[in-house]
Structure formats: structure tokens, C-alpha cells
Amino acid sequence: MYEYRRLTPKQQVEIVQQKLVRGFSPHSPPSYRYSDLAIRSERHYYTMLNYIHYNSVKHQWSKSSYDWSCSSVHWYLDNQGRQWLQDAWMRYPIRDYGKEWDDF
């Protein structure tokens, strides 16, 4: 891999232009693609929260979100309660993850 600081200004401009054409952010490392992660609605927020909490189960790192010690589900459990988490899970299922988030 190249060392960006050692490139000429012209070479730097060429690399940035190549990144933009391929969909990268101009300042991102080559391995990262640009992604819009702005929360668009209340439904988007809670569905994303459920998706994050379910991630350890999806990847088979744990049998339950509650079993994963690094999960933020523990903070929500302590601060919001189990019933709040269950209600959020039922109201904002991850099966709809990504669907119609741009609809305001």
C-alpha cells in the first residue's frame, strides 16, 4: 500500500478522484465504503437498535442478546426495563430492517 504523505499533490488528487468514482469517501481508507447512517425516523431508530442487539445472535456468538456481555441491551435493561425492550422488539421488528426509512 502507498504512503499518502509521500505522493505528489497530483497523485493525491488522482487517488481522491478514483475513490469518489468508486463510491468511497475521499478521506476513507481504501477498505471502507461510504455509508449513510443517519437515523431517519423513530421507527428507523428502534429497528436499528433491535438490529444491533440481535447482531450477536445472528452471528451465533450467543444464544440471546442478554448473554452477550458487550451488548448495550444491558444498559437498556437496567434503565428502561425488560418490558420496554420487549415492546420495542415487537413494535419494530428487524424483519423490516431498512424498509421505507427514507419515507418521512
pLDDT band at 98 (very low <50, low <70, confident <90, very high): low
Greater pLDDT, 77 or 38: 77
Contact 97, 43 (CB under 8 A): no
SS (HEC) of 25-56: CCCCCCCCCCCCCCCCCHHHHHHHHHHHHHHH
pLDDT at 1: 44
Q: What is the pLDDT of residues 21-43, one digit of tens each?
A: 776 665 655 554 445 667 778 88
Burial class of residue 51 (count of CB atoms within 10 Å of its CB; 0-12, 13-18, 19+): middle
pLDDT at 35: 55
pLDDT band at 48 (very low <50, low <70, confident <90, very high): confident
